[in-house]
């Protein structure tokens, strides 16, 4: 029941501010206020959900034993680290590919003989994502 209530609150925190924006006059100031209220409500609810989630686990850790709780925490943080390594490396790779690919297309349009050189730079930018994936596999291998 609590999970359904939390899910509903999160969805409403996204929908309600934009409903307010679309209901009235559409202006840039109103859009900024709506976006600020949306972000504040969403992240406030996420913070509250995190506090409730970790608050409940502290009592369970005392009763279950410290060794089992430490192993569960280490496993959870390992999954979090693997996800962050993939996610952040893909964001960085996307930014690098966006810059390198647009520059490569501009250079190719002027001189088509440099296609091979420009593809190497775009490929190097995509390699950042693969490094993040390899690190994630290494982290998951240790769990």
Angle between helices 28-64 and 2-23 (to 10 degrees): 170
pTM above 0.85, yes or no: no
**Cα atoms in the Cβ-side hemisphere of radius 13 Å centred on 128:** 16
The tokens describing 132, both together, are: 């993040």
- The pLDDT assigned to 36 comes to 81
Class of domain 66-143: mainly alpha
How is the chain split into domains, by residue range?
1-64, 66-143
Contacts of 74 (CB under 8 A, 6+ apart): 143
pLDDT 10s digits, 29-53: 777 877 787 778 778 877 777 777 6
Phi, psi of 90, rounded to the nearest 5 degrees: -70, -35
In this predicted structure, what is the pLDDT of residue 18?
Answer: 64
The alpha-helical segments, DSSP class H, found in the chain are 2-23, 28-64, 66-110, 115-142
Task: Work out the mean pLDDT of the chain and round it to a whole number.
Answer: 78
Who has greater pLDDT, 24 or 5? 5
């Amino acid at each position: 029941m609590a999970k359904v209530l939390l899910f509903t609150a999160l969805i409403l925190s996204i929908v309600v501010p934009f409903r307010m924006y679309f209901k009235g006059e559409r202006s840039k100031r109103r859009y900024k206020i709506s976006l600020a209220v949306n972000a504040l409500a969403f992240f406030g609810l996420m913070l509250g959900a995190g506090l409730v989630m970790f608050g409940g686990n502290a009592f369970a850790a005392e009763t279950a034993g410290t060794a089992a709780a430490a192993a569960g925490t280490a496993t959870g943080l390992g999954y979090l680290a693997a996800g962050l390594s993939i996610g952040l490396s893909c964001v960085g790779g996307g930014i690098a590919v966006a810059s390198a690919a647009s520059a490569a297309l501009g250079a190719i349009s002027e001189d088509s003989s440099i296609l091979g050189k420009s593809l190497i730079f775009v490929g190097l930018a995509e390699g950042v994502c693969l490094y993040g994936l390899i690190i994630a596999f290494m982290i998951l291998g240790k769990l």
